Amino acid sequence: MKRPTIGVLTWREGKRFAEPAYFRRLLRAGQELGSTVFLFSPKDVLAQGKQVRGFILDANGNWQARIFDRPDAVFDRYRYTPTQAFKDYVAFRRTSNFLYANNRLANKWRVHEVLYRDERMHRWLPETFLYNRANFVKMLGRHSFLYVKPLNGTGGRNILCIEKTDQGYRLLGRDRQRSKISTVVKQADAVLRYVDRWTRAEKYIVQQGLRLQLVPKRAVDMRLLIQKDGNGDWRVTGHGMRVGGERSATSNLHGGGKAMIVPEFLRPRFGDARTMEIVRDCEQLAYQTAESLENHFGRMVEFGLDIGIDVNGRAWLIEVNPKPAREVFREMGAVQQYKQAISRPIEYAMYLARTKGQEEKEKKYSRVSARR
């Protein structure tokens, strides 16, 4: 049987790639699974899509270009950046006809709209609106704690947290460079002016803040990874708690957070039985989210869910990432889960290539039989 080829679509400049350490592990995982995995960017597609300039690792671990025939399946890892290269990628995805393991997901607001249409999701969704002055004023009057987030942001950038206190309003956030922002303003109109400046460059959502301080003065959430396996079924690969740095608006690991094993973190606060209930609820949330989004956007391969657990143990869906990191498992020392988190997208892409190839053979056989 032919060794399947899996292309990984990503940003490239020369021999620099967006996620080099992850991609090295991904290529090794593909080799162990019996496939050939290579990296490519939109500009590497040649001969009307019949050939691709792909990048693999040579014997010395250096990136090497080779010309490949059209890949059997493609895993899209091209992540958002506010650049022309990303706009070119979007145009490429609209017109290319590769067999993709994952479709593109929309921005945060569109994802919220799609999920909110499914009544089964309502109990997990915090109140969320597209940012404008009227919506912000309404939310500020309704909640003592708010988040303002860019529609397309990743990694905790440009997120602002507004909390009503006895002294006025405390504003915490991270700018484009993930530098911490912290200030206190007295009046609501001053908050509005500040948030107007913060949101000037792009579109934002305003979201109900949640009391997630299971550790005093630190943001805490769960990162849950749900992926397709080698049989095409959704599976929860694992989860970890992320505890943010002191006075940080987010819990992101690259923003100074740390990772902890979920039951070990929750048991001292909620006890054994309640901890098991919370974990089951979070996993149910993950399966329902994957089903709802895939029904709308088409075939997907994985989602990283940021789930808030409030002081009462209630789970809330904070954010969905269709191209997630998986470092939470490495930070926790969960070696097997980390390895599985890397290999599963390749396993699914191989399954997809195999089943689609079989379908094409059966169609061809049916046409031949019909002519006899």
Alpha carbon distance 237, 283 (integer Å)? 10
Alpha carbon distance 272, 242 (integer Å)? 20
Average pLDDT over residues 291-304: 97
Reported as a pLDDT band with limits 50, 70 and 90, residue 356 is: confident
For 53-88, how does the pLDDT look when each residue is reduced to its tens digit (9 = 90+)? 999 999 999 999 999 999 999 999 999 988 999 999
For 320-331, how does the pLDDT look when each residue is reduced to its tens digit (9 = 90+)? 999 999 999 999
Question: Residue 368: pLDDT above 90?
Answer: no
Alpha carbon distance 152, 67 (integer Å)? 33
Average pLDDT over residues 364-371: 44
CB 77 within 8 A of CB 10: yes
* Structure-token pair, residue 352: 């997809």
Residue 85 CA: distances (Å) to CA of 12, 82, 158: 9, 8, 21
The CATH architecture assigned to 127-208 reads 2-Layer Sandwich (3.30)
What pLDDT shows up at residue 365?
44
The whole-chain average pLDDT of the chain stands at 90
Average pLDDT over residues 200-207: 91
Main-chain phi, psi angles of 202, to 5 degrees: -155, 180
Domain layout of the chain by residue ranges: 5-100, 127-208, 214-333
* 5-100 shares its CATH topology with 214-333: no
What pLDDT shows up at residue 217?
67
Alpha carbon distance 53, 65 (integer Å)? 6
Question: Residue 315: pLDDT above 70?
Answer: yes
CA Rg value for the chain: 22
Least confident of 138-147, 153-162, 194-203, 243-252: 243-252
Which CATH number fits the domain 214-333, given the four candidates 3.40.50.1820, 3.30.470.20, 3.20.20.10, 1.10.1040.10?
A: 3.30.470.20
H/E stretch holding 12 reads strand 12-13
Which 3 state secondary structure label does DSSP give 103?
coil
pLDDT: which is higher, 230 or 202? 230
Contacts of 242 (CB under 8 A, 6+ apart): 220, 221, 222, 223, 251, 252, 253, 257, 258, 259, 260, 328
Average pLDDT over residues 254-262: 77
Q: Percentage of residues in the chain with pLDDT exceeding 70?
A: 91
Q: Which of 178, 180, 153, 14 is nearest to 82 (CA)?
A: 153
pTM of the shown model: 0.88
Structure-token match 């270009």, residue found? 65
CB 238 within 8 A of CB 332: no
What pLDDT shows up at residue 175?
79
CATH topology of domain 5-100: Rossmann fold (3.40.50)
Question: Residue 318: pLDDT above 90?
Answer: yes
**Which DSSP symbol is given to 207?**
E
Counting other chains too, the contacts that 321-325 makes at CB distance below 8 Å and 24 or more residues apart are: 321/154, 322/102, 322/104, 322/105, 323/76, 323/77, 323/78, 323/79, 324/223, 324/225, 325/22, 325/253
- Partners of 183 in the beta sheet? 171
Alpha carbon distance 233, 301 (integer Å)? 10
Reported as a pLDDT band with limits 50, 70 and 90, residue 371 is: very low
Question: Residue 247: pLDDT above 60?
Answer: no
What pLDDT shows up at residue 1?
58
For 117-167, how does the pLDDT look when each residue is reduced to its tens digit (9 = 90+)? 999 999 999 999 999 999 999 999 999 999 999 998 666 678 899 999 888
